[in-house]
Amino acid sequence: MTISVLTIPQSFVDEITQHSLEDYPNEACGIIAAESGKPCNLYRMRNVEASPYRYSMDPKELYLTYKDIEQDHNWEVYAIYHSHTHSEAYPSATDVRLATWPEAFYILISLKDKKNPVLRGFKILDSKIEEAEIVIEE
């Protein structure tokens, strides 16, 4: 079995952590774009649910972000991240049900222990969860 490798710059890990802490106790979410498979830009997205238990991106903001990534820059959607403030960094049943980007990574960050955030990456294909190996680059 091949394991997907999720490459992510340390600065993006810091940004995801920072964003998640700022939105705590609500879930935070965002998108990472890549150029030729190399992460190049991070978009903080608004969680319109403003909830500690779920997240939902604003359709208009999502549309504009997607347009910026695909049309304006010719990048691709590399990863979707969101935080879990009360549970493990593992996709929930809802996350799996709503996973609509088979080619993208799903990054989960858990703030269950706020002092020690845990970040994990997954591919979600046909309702199957496959954990990715994370390589953090300087």
Report the interface residues with Zn ion, using CB under 5 A: 92, 95
Count of CB atoms situated within 10 Å of the CB of 54 = 16
Q: Are 87 and 113 in contact (CB under 8 A)?
A: no
- C-beta nearest to Zn ion: residue: 95
Least distance to Zn ion, CB of residue 95, Å: 4
For the CB of residue 58, give the shortest distance to Zn ion in the complex, in Å: 17
CB 100, min distance to Zn ion, A = 14
The whole-angstrom separation of Cα 43 and Cα 18 is: 13
Residue 56 or 92: the one with the smaller Cβ distance to Zn ion is 92
Residues 6+ apart with CB under 8 A from 133: 3, 4, 5, 6, 121
Nearer to Zn ion, 75 or 109 (CB): 109
Looking at the Cβ atoms of 23 and 95, the one nearer to Zn ion is 95
